[in-house]
Every structure is written in C-alpha cells, then in structure tokens.
A and B are shown apart, each in its own frame.
Chain A
Amino acid sequence: MINIVSCFKWVIDEAYVRATSSGQIDLESVDYKISDYDRNAIEEAVIIKEKYGGDVTAVTVGSPEASKSIKNALSRGPDRAYFINDTSFADLEPSQTAAILADVIGAQIKYDLIICGEGSSDLYARQIGPRLAHKLGIPCICFVQKLEIKDNQIIAERRVEAGIEIITVPMPALVTVLSDINSPRVPGLKDTLAASKKPVVNIGKQDLSGNYDPKLETRETRAASLKRSCVKFGSEAQDVSGFVQALLKAGAIR
C-alpha cells in the first residue's frame, strides 16, 4: 500500500495568450487547464496505485477560482483532493508554492511517494519538485521518464542532456515526471460522476501559519515579440522559385 501524492496547478492555457497592439500580454479571452505535465503526474500516481496498490491524494494551491480544477483532477483517478486556496494565492512564485505545499503535505497528508510534473505550462520554472522535496527533507529525482517500485525503493529512469541516468532511492521520496512517461487518460462520463463523490479538503490561508512572502518580484511582463516579415507565397512552381529567391536575397541559403 503506497501513499501517493500528486501535485497539480491550474494554469492559463498558453494557446489563448495574445499580444495587444502595444505589446502587452492580452489575457482577456483565456481559458484554463490543468498544467500539461501535471496531467502526467496525476496519471503516473494512478498507474502506480493500480500496479502496486495504494492511495492517491491530489493537491493544488491557487486562487478560489481554481476550484474548477478539482473535479477535473479527481476525474483522472485520485481518491481525494486537497484544495489550498486564497485570493492572494493567484500568482505565486515557485518558492511560495513549494512552501505552502510543504506545510500542508508535511502536516496533514501521509505520503511515501510525491509526484510532480517537471514544470508548469505557464511559468515552467521547474522548481516546485526539488524545492518541495527539500522543504520536506526527502530526496528528489527530477525529469523521470520511467518509474518502478521494488522493496520500498524507487527505481527511476531519468533523461538529462548527457543521456539516461537510472537512480534508486528509498521511499519517502519525490519525483518529477516528463511528458513521455505516460499518456494521460481522457476521463469519461463515469469518471466525472465518480469525481463529484470524492472527498475534497479545503484549506484557506487562515489554516496556515508559515511566512509565504515572495522572494521574486515581477517588475514587468510583456508579450514576446516575434518580429517576422510574414511574407506569403503560393504553391505553384513560379511561387516556389520566388520563395527560393527571397531566401537567397536574405542570405538564409548560400
């Protein structure tokens, strides 16, 4: 019986992020989603549970609006959710998120294995996993593409620039997973119905006693300008010839 915790974040879907004419980030018509790699983290927790027996708790920190994420996460298989929320938890920087998660998980949730996505789709800072592990005083293995458990030991295959590293550590421990570790299931109607019956623990700022001051301060955000010429050609032979001429003129081909 393995007690598994998977952490997830409710984020702006970057596909809807636009730039205003003055170069600002336009978030007027955005939609939200469970961060891409966190779907892999939840899926991996459920796979481990199915394979070895266990129990999955999904945990998120965010603004009260992130409540929409809870049912979505639970429909993917976890047994219960912890929803840590406050209006001031909307735009946390990684050290804050990790400190809040550590306080709640450390005090209230039984865990042998914590699984996080390698990074969030919005900030992609890739810090929550290692910071959370450090705060809890447990070892961490990041960028895992294959996970097994044997005799209370985690055996993780992780991918870094130089190649593959196979690392083992006794539980409790934390891993962050890459997107190719699994293919997250698409919840069906039955899963969605089941999700609404699962327990949800709500935790507010008043239930926490730590100091969660930000250590990074955002001075400015702006749209990333692409500054491309956007010249379009047709597909006939003479158009393709014009395209090649343009590349030659630009010095892009020699």
Chain B
Amino acid sequence: MSGVWIFAENREQSLELLNIGGELASQIGTKLVNIILGDNGQAQDYIDYGADEVWLLPALGPDQTLLAYAPVIADEAKQEDPDIFLVAGTLRGKELAAIIASSLDTGLASDCTFLKLGADNKLEMERLIFGGAGIQKVVCSTRPQMATIPARTFEPAEMKAGREGIKRELPTPPLSPLKLLARQNRVRESGDIREAQAVVAVGRGIEKKEDIDMIRELADILGGEIGCTRPITEEKHWLPEDLCIGISALEVKPQLYIGIGVSGQIQHVAGFRDARIVCAINKDENAPIFEASDYGIVGDLYEVIPRLLAELKKSGRAN
C-alpha cells in the first residue's frame, strides 16, 4: 500500500495541501488521500480539487477536542502504510501530528516551508531553525514521512472538471479523557494582518501607548494594518497578542513591512522574511533591523513619522 495523505482542519489549508500533495503523489505515482472533517457533501469538493480519495472523520461530541481523532488516523496509517503524510500546521494540527507520529514511531518535520522529492525519492523537507537564522533540510528515514505545513506555504490547488473519486467514512474515535469545557472564538478588533498588503510594526522604541495612534494613522494611509513585536503584547500589553509578528507568533507576507522602533531580533524578523519590501525606522544606526531591510531611515521616530505622514499626504497617498 502507499499514498500521499493530507489532513487540514480547514478548507483553505486543505486546498494548499491538495496542491503540493497532488504534485508529490504524481511524482511517486500513487494516490492522494484527503482526510477531512465534514460531511459527504463536502467530499466531492475536495475530489474536484485533486483528491483521489476523501476519508471523512465522523463528527465529535461537543466536549471532545480534535486530538480525539489521533487513534483513528494512526490506526488507518498502520494498516495502509502511506508514503507521505502532510498535516496543515495549525496549532491543533501540530499537536495532532506529533501524537500520530509518536503512535507510528516515525519522524515528523515541523513547519516545513519547502518540500521536494530528492534523487533517492526521499522527501526533502526544509524548515527554519535558530529563531529563523538558519535553515535545516531533513529527510525522514521511517514511514510515513511526516511534515506539518504552515498556512500559505503553497498556492491552493486548482479545480479540475469532471473528476471522480472514492469517498469513505472513518470509524468513530474512542472517547478521549480530554474534555472541552468551553470555546471562545476569537474576535478580531482589526483586519487580518496576514491578509494585509502593508504591515506597520511597532517595537520597543515607542515610548507610550498613545503614540500607537500616530503609527495607526501611517498604517491607514498605506492601506495596511498595524502589528508589533512580542514585548509590546507581553510586557507592555499595549496591543493584543494576535498582532504579534514573529516565528513563534504570526508570520506575515505583505508587499510592504515597516518596522518602527523595532530593533530586529531574529525571532521577530523571521516573521516577515517573505515580505516583498522591508523598511525600518530606528534611531540606532547599528540596530540589526537595518540588515534585514531594503530601505531604512536612521532617526528619531518622533521626528520621522510626522515628516513621513506629511510626505505621503503631499504625494497624494492618503486614502
């Protein structure tokens, strides 16, 4: 038996994994299996986007967590022996993947940003290490070769007309001792910074909370969103933690990133490494952020920001 398996807890990431998973499956010459949460009606959708087989996980009781599926998926993998198993790297996905990998006694490469079949047909998986300062390329010597994939690493698959596939229901998992008491869905105060075409990030160089207003004005003029470094959320509590950018927080890929009063610690810098243009405003000309920037202004942000706002307004960039 063989196959490339994918699992994601949402449709968006399923489509991304169908794309890369489909590519790998055709290179190996095997089938693409998409394990999904949902009903039979949704299965055809994933077949249209490239799945050869869609396996449905039965709905869970209201007090069960995603982790309850681990034994069911692991049992299937023991029987079917897939070549590759890609799991969407949501936090719950990472937790689930680690438990499944442990059950199967196999290796798991976390948060892979690049996948390629090597000359020996092993899956070469690249991931960041040292807070983003380094890249590690690993292969897995056991089966299945497992990886978690962050959102937006791959383009979504394209729909293909007239595809047919197999639909199958997986068994109901045993009750997990973990009981979900409550779930509070996140309420976003602003737009999604992962979608923003411009991100203006606030760092420790900002002296007081009120000064963020002026940064917000800049973000508005640029048609973007505001983000920040970890100390702003964790020490100062000036902005909510879902605006924190970094390898251990949100990773953003805007057209333009501007760091204001941001020193440029690697953990934060890795969070915008895929931004198209990076700018920095900092009074310390030796701040590491300038090494990671395309354009920088060395100067006091309290002098520079008003000038920058005036310049943008003058050149008609104000929305």
Contact = CB atoms under 8 A, between A and B. Distances in A.
Interface stretch (B25-33, B36-44, B52-60, B308-316): B308-316
B227 to A, nearest CB: 16
B49 to A, nearest CB: 22
A243 B179 contact: no
Interface stretch (A50-58, A165-173, A198-206): A165-173
Contact of B307 (A122, A215, A240): A240
Given A130-B99, A228-B278, A162 B186 contact: yes
A93 B101 CA distance: 13
Contacts of B290: 230, 232
Interface in A135-169: 135, 139-143, 155, 159-169
Contacts of B292: 226, 228
Contacts of B304: 235, 240
Given A124-B129, A224-B273, A234 B297 contact: yes
Contacts of A220: 136-137
A18 B134 CA distance: 9
Given A25-B130, A215-B142, A216-B141, A134 B279 contact: no
A134 B233 CA distance: 33
A223 interface: yes
A17 B297 CA distance: 25
Contacts of A109: none
B233 to A, nearest CB: 8
Given A95-B102, A166-B182, A180-B234, A219 B266 contact: no
Interface stretch (B89-97, B164-172, B205-213): B89-97
Given A165-B65, A216-B140, A15 B265 contact: yes
Q: Dominant SS at the A interface?
A: mixed
Interface stretch (A2-10, A79-87, A186-194, A245-253): A245-253
A20 to B, nearest CB: 11
Interface string B70-103: 0000000000000000000011101100110111
Interface residues of B, number: 88
Interface string B230-243: 10011000000100
A163 to B, nearest CB: 4
A166 B101 contact: no
A229 B294 contact: yes
A250 B255 CA distance: 10
Interface of B: 65, 67, 90-92, 94-95, 98-99, 101-103, 105-111, 118, 124, 128-142, 176-186, 198, 222-223, 230, 233-234, 241, 247-248, 255-256, 265-267, 269-270, 273, 276-279, 285, 290-300, 303-304, 307-308, 311-312, 315, 317
30 contacts: A14-B266, A17-B134, A25-B133, A118-B248, A122-B131, A130-B95, A131-B99, A167-B65, A167-B181, A168-B179, A179-B234, A215-B107, A216-B139, A218-B136, A221-B134, A221-B137, A222-B135, A223-B134, A226-B269, A228-B293, A229-B295, A230-B291, A232-B295, A233-B297, A235-B299, A239-B299, A240-B308, A247-B277, A247-B295, A252-B255
Given A95-B102, A162-B185, A243-B308, 18 more contacts: A15-B131, A95-B106, A123-B110, A130-B95, A134-B102, A160-B90, A160-B92, A162-B183, A162-B186, A164-B186, A179-B248, A219-B138, A224-B270, A228-B278, A239-B297, A240-B311, A243-B297, A250-B295
